[in-house]
Structure 1
């Protein structure tokens, strides 16, 4: 009498199972105090570097915009080709996207004569559309699982709109309210503090708290950059765009090297199969 077969009626594809359980790495850093410090520094550099390049290169606002957009495209290609978060590549992309976002807003205002009210509204609607499409596709706007090409595409498009919106909104507030650079920075800092308080005391959604603060850090950093770089007669400290840009870039570089070495902002990978 032959023995019964011990083979499973539906054999398990061990190769497929192994792939399904393979960890996947997020392409975005953990949101720590380092994240917010570098983000604000990048927004400041975006403001001062855009002014500096426009003044020194002699290419005009349009020429500088095309040049920086090309550099951004190269860095984003490198970012998309990485298989995990790399501090140097990621923060280079953020710094460049800060400059490009500033230049987009400046082109609309200075070259095309678009009122700040209009550009602010357009950028706000654009960001809303990106969020709507992102949520419809992924059912979440969280940056804790930016681990596919589609999610990363939504993420960087949203980041670009936040910088452009922050630039236009910041200029609108500064010009309409005529508060000056220092008071404008204080105003946006208080707005960010209000979001933090609402998150802690009222239970404001964590994802929306993040994105609201992310938008507000743009005009905060721009106001701080203008305050440091603009002449004293215009309400600034008169450090100039060169000194301000170099100073902030040096601090960004030091922090990025620190994070790349210590990996303090790298999250543990999540297993596949939870999408």
Structure 2
């Protein structure tokens, strides 16, 4: 059965998993961790009110992203940053507000993610991010992304705090796990789709552990930079990379034109 015309998109809505993609992804996950702490603690909004505000902001941006018919770097990565914050807050609400053990929330989010993948594959027969060309596939994609952030937050906190491994050791463990996935893919031919989603999950606790390592006080095993400095630095890095990607994408959109004169070049030049 073909997708209804009103659900079809003109092009893939998500970026290719290049080096810049993974760099921004880790930066976004770090911001998700530090910004959630900054807003709820330093601004004294509390976890619940912060969640309400950030979910509302995320939904506004998500609607714009969802209605867009093409990949727009700034819009896409703003959505990722906000969903990173929301995913962190979901886990924080379960842990701090409802007293759900981190081991339980980790398991629940893992099951929810696997269920999302199972339904996605049963419906679309693919989990590839290279073919997010319908509204339905994009819905599955963002639902999976949300669960990866919530799962990654719970898993990262479980290792760093509950198991008392510390932020540096936790970051090292998740970084090593990502290296193992890369080796499994490039050397032992682990499928690209499986490798992508495993790495996508692992980058969340990696970024969160790294963010906590920088932001938390030295007495708690951190570098003491604080959530404000850490959030601003990483947001600036994301903004710089997104601006670069936007400019590069706009230049690639007119490859056959002289960008100074606008005159069409001969074919084959």
TM > 0.5 fold call: yes
* 1:256 correspondence with 2:242: yes
4+ residue runs over 3 A deviation: none
State the TM-score, normalizing by the size of structure 2: 0.89
Equivalent position of 2:67 in the other structure: 81
TM-score, normalised with respect to structure 1: 0.87
Tell me the CA shift for residue 177 of structure 1: 3.3
**1:65 aligned residue (32, 48, 51):** 51
**2:194 equivalent to 1:208:** yes
Equivalent positions of 1:44-193 (< 5 A) are 44-193=30-179
- Aligned equivalents of 1:206, 1:234: Cα separation in 2: 38
Q: Report which of the two structures shows the higher radius of gyration computed on alpha carbons.
A: 1
Ranges in structure 2 where 5+ consecutive residues have no aligned partner:
254-269
- Per the TM alignment, residue 92 of structure 1 is displaced from its structure 2 partner at its CA by 0.2
Offset at residue 57 of structure 1 (A): 3.1
The structure whose RCO (Cα within 8 Å, separation 6+) is larger is 1
Residues 1:41 and 2:27 aligned together: yes
Instruction: Indicate whether 1:232 and 2:218 are aligned.
Output: yes
Q: d(CA) in 1 for partners of 2:207 and 2:155? A: 13
The residue that corresponds to 1:16 in the other structure is: none
The root-mean-square deviation of aligned C-alpha atoms, in Å, is: 1.8
In structure 1, stretches of 5+ residues that fail to align are 1-18, 268-275
CA deviations over 1:78-134 (Å, ceiling 9, x no partner) = 001111000010000000000000000000000000011110111001001100110
Give the distance between the partners of 1:77 and 1:227, measured in 2 at CA: 34
Distance 1:220 1:196 in 2: 15
* Secondary structure at 2:131 match in 1: coil
